[in-house]
A and B are shown apart, each in its own frame.
Chain A
Amino acid sequence: MHKRLFALLAILLSLALLASACGDDEETETVAEPEPAAAEPEPDPEPEPETTEAPEPEPEPETTEAPEAPEPEMTDISVGLVFDIGGRGDQSFNDSAAAGIERAAAELGITFTEASPEPDGSNRGELLQLAADAHDIVIGVGFLFEGDAAAVGAENPDTRFGVVDSAMLNFGADPVAPYGENIAGLVFAEHEGSFLVGAAAALKSQTGKIGFIGGVANVGGLIERFEAGFNAGARTVNPDIEIIGDYITEAPDFDGFNAPDRAKEIALAMYEEGADIVYHAAGGSGAGLFQAALEQSEATGSKVWAIGVDSDQYHTADAGVRDYILTSMLKRVDVSIFEMIKSVIDGTMQPGPTAYDLSVDGVGYSTSGGFVDDIAGELEALKAQIVSGDIAVPTEP
């Protein structure tokens, strides 16, 4: 009896291990969930001032240097890219990062290796260290690498480190300072991307009424930047547009980033009030918005839309709701990684946060599903005006 039980157990366990070895997709969805939910569930109220300042001054050197970019000379720089759990195939940050490193290999001639942590997330620091042993640049995909990158970065001062979606500022220091001269944070000008999806919403709205759902209010104005950009974009194309804005929770209650049920209630109320397109900057809560769009559309027979955030949610959300996702505000992880590597080669890498904005395509909107193809011309024109400075996108609503 005893022995049989153990034999059975052994077989079950082996199968489970094999399954977990093969079934990466599932892990990506379950374990890595908080990561695409990256409407920054970082609770630090302080990052705001820095991050808001960063977008404006930082990318400028990039823009000025852009013309002389095409020099596909080979370098002997090598990069160690460390994905978050699940690695390639998540249709989100990891895949985007892979695209960025491949572009860097093709255009800048760098060599690279990839690694991803154990499914339990136990060896991020080890991987960064191993990558640092073998490479000139080490990039961690996702803010979960912040603590480990700061520690490993301090041990390897000659290696450059980049962390996607984290400012890499030490808020424990006084004054607040980058973790180290060799450590960069790859962040995004979310307000500019939100501007474009706001414009798309206003152009597509039949009712003249649209909505915004923020995850958590008062996280140092972090999510308010999404709202400010969205509102400005919508009003630019339609000054009479009516915008309903709401937040799920207020800091220090961080539930709002992972409360699909509450997001769904808010979204349904907005649709009832006549809004036909709702944008969310609420991380994991977005699933509730998509569900609400589906249910409202089916209940009333007239189609309402949702707009996704961070990654192309047409691909990351449930297949059943993707036809209700008009577009998504994209953080272009691929661009940030490419530009960061380039800045190291050019010797212009800045410690601390660098915000990648529209001028380098660091943010943008997705076209999956083809729902915004008819207004692509208008959106591109607006984008050009932002890049040229004709339109200044506000960061506060």
Chain B
Amino acid sequence: MTERLTHRLMLASAAPIAAVVIAVVLSSIVLLISGSNPLAAYADMVQHASKLETQVDILNRATPLYLSGVAAAIGFRMNLFNIGVEGQYLLAFIVAAHLGAQVELPSVLHIAFILVVAMAVGGMFSGAAGVLKVTRGVNEVISTIMLNAVVISGLAAWWIVEWQAGGEISATGGRVGTEPIAESGLLPDINSWLEVFTREVGLGKKLTGMLVVALVVGVVYHVILNRTVFGFDLRSSGANPTASHVGGVSPKRMVVIAMTLSGMVAGLVGMTELMDTGYYPSNPISLLGFTGIAVALLGRNHPAGVAVAALIFGFLDVSSGILQISGAASREIVEIMKGVIILTAVIAYEVVRRIREREEAAAAAAAMAASPGADA
């Protein structure tokens, strides 16, 4: 029995390990072709990442990627492809930034208000795509892509002008943006939590408080999906809508709910930046919604897997700087590595799945053959 367990564990861990090894080998080849020394590049990356300040950067980068990844994963578990995370988080970002600057509340309420607004906006916007799907049969891929355009070149572009704070922003950073949110609405950094374990964080780096929110989202995602009736309905409806319909689960209802939940989490993606700067700038950090799809894919939609994927992406993104400054490689190598890792991961998982299937079939056959004493 224990032998089988170890075997299964080995199989399970084989995929990610193989993916990383193959990705490193392929990236090394690309680095060699482009005239860089792979060992020097990897040494720079590891050495840079071993600094506390860099680790803060990695976590700050991984936090929105994790939220974005979970948002995409919720859709995937229901067999829905929510490409609209990009538009949902930017819309939630600008609306929460604007409304957050309009109210005066005690700190805890103020922060909660902003986060709730962001989740509500993201949820409603994404839910609209779900409603379109179940009432009008509009494929959610099409509708969310179009809703992205509505936000990016429509609503956000309009509101940034409408809600422009004028000269006040330049006091804080010289950029165009919405009115800054009062200090009471900003989630404090959690450097002090980190400093319990290690030394003081230098260089003015701040570990985002949204990390805590992201962890809570991850736990809630895990519990709802795996420990509740609703989560079971969601997964079964995604796997086989007809069967679960017969079992009493309305697939239409599940589509709208899943899209709404996905959008609610998406709404939190932009909060990492908002809680840091306090306003929506003319050039918010973008593309997080699309990267989230890749993160969810790499993390297999699993709450912990997505977290690992977000950390890998965060690590690679943060490495882009040191590779350029040290001259070890160009920035593009980071993008290539991300692509290679996704590809190798998917292939490795598929290979492992087939091996497992074959073994199960063989085991079943063996059991059948020796039917009286089958105890393996």
Contacts and interface: CB of A to CB of B under 8 A. Distances in A.
Real binding pair: yes
Binding site of A, secondary structure by majority: helix, strand, loop or mixed? helix
B173 A150 contact: yes
B283 interface: yes
Nearest to A13: B294
Nearest to B54: A126
A172 B350 contact: no
A119 B342 CA distance: 19
Contact of B325 (A5, A80, A147, A172): A80
Contact of B350 (A3, A17, A143, A252): A3
A254 B204 contact: no
A44 B346 contact: no
A147 B317 contact: no
A118 B166 CA distance: 28
B332 interface: yes
Contact of A45 (B167, B239, B326, B353): B167
A120 B68 CA distance: 14
Interface stretch (B103-111, B119-127, B285-293, B368-376): B285-293
A330 interface: no
A38 interface: no
Given A3-B350, A115-B331, A118-B320, A43 B342 contact: no
B164 A252 contact: yes
A2 B325 CA distance: 42
A6 B174 contact: no
B293 A13 contact: yes
Given A17-B336, A123-B321, A43 B171 contact: no
Nearest to B157: A258
A95 interface: no
A17 B204 contact: no
A20 B204 CA distance: 31
Interface stretch (A128-136, A234-242, A352-360, A383-391): A128-136
A46 B170 contact: yes
Nearest to A120: B287
B325 A134 contact: yes
Binding site of B, secondary structure by majority: helix, strand, loop or mixed? helix
A18 B171 contact: no
A252 B343 contact: no
Contacts of B346: 6-7, 10
A229 interface: no
B35 to A, nearest CB: 16
B171 to A, nearest CB: 3
A272 interface: no
A15 B322 CA distance: 25
B203 A13 contact: no
A43 B61 contact: no
Interface in A1-42: 2-3, 5-7, 9-11, 13-18, 20-22, 24, 31, 34, 41-42
B321 A44 contact: no
Given A44-B170, A253-B161, A114 B324 contact: yes
The residue among A45, A134, A147, A170 with the most chain B CB atoms within 10 A of its own CB is: A147
Nearest to A143: B174
Interface in B30-68: 57, 61
A171 B168 CA distance: 8
Contact of B171 (A6, A122, A134, A170): A170
Contacts of A118: 317, 320, 331
B283 A17 contact: no
A339 B317 CA distance: 33
Contacts of B339: 13-18, 21
Contact of B321 (A47, A115, A143, A154): A115
A147 B175 CA distance: 8
A44 B167 contact: yes
Interface string B302-333: 00000000000000011011101111000110
B335 A171 contact: no
Given A13-B342, A43-B166, A254-B161, A115 B336 contact: no
B325 A131 contact: yes
A221 to B, nearest CB: 14
B107 to A, nearest CB: 22
A49 interface: no
A181 interface: no
A147 B173 contact: yes
Given A43-B169, A147-B173, A154-B204, A17 B286 contact: no
Contacts of A2: 79, 239
Interface of A: 2-3, 5-7, 9-11, 13-18, 20-22, 24, 31, 34, 41-47, 80, 87, 113-116, 118-123, 126-127, 129-131, 133-134, 143-144, 146-147, 150-152, 154-155, 166, 170-172, 251-255
9 contacts: A9-B297, A13-B297, A17-B336, A44-B169, A120-B286, A120-B287, A123-B57, A123-B321, A150-B174
Interface of B: 57, 61, 76, 79, 81, 161, 164-167, 169-176, 202-204, 239, 277, 282-283, 285-288, 290-291, 293-294, 297, 317-318, 320-322, 324-327, 331-332, 335-336, 338-340, 342-343, 345-346, 350, 353
Given A123-B57, A130-B322, 18 more contacts: A3-B353, A34-B283, A42-B170, A42-B175, A116-B331, A119-B287, A122-B285, A123-B61, A126-B57, A131-B325, A134-B326, A146-B174, A154-B204, A155-B204, A251-B166, A252-B166, A254-B161, A254-B164
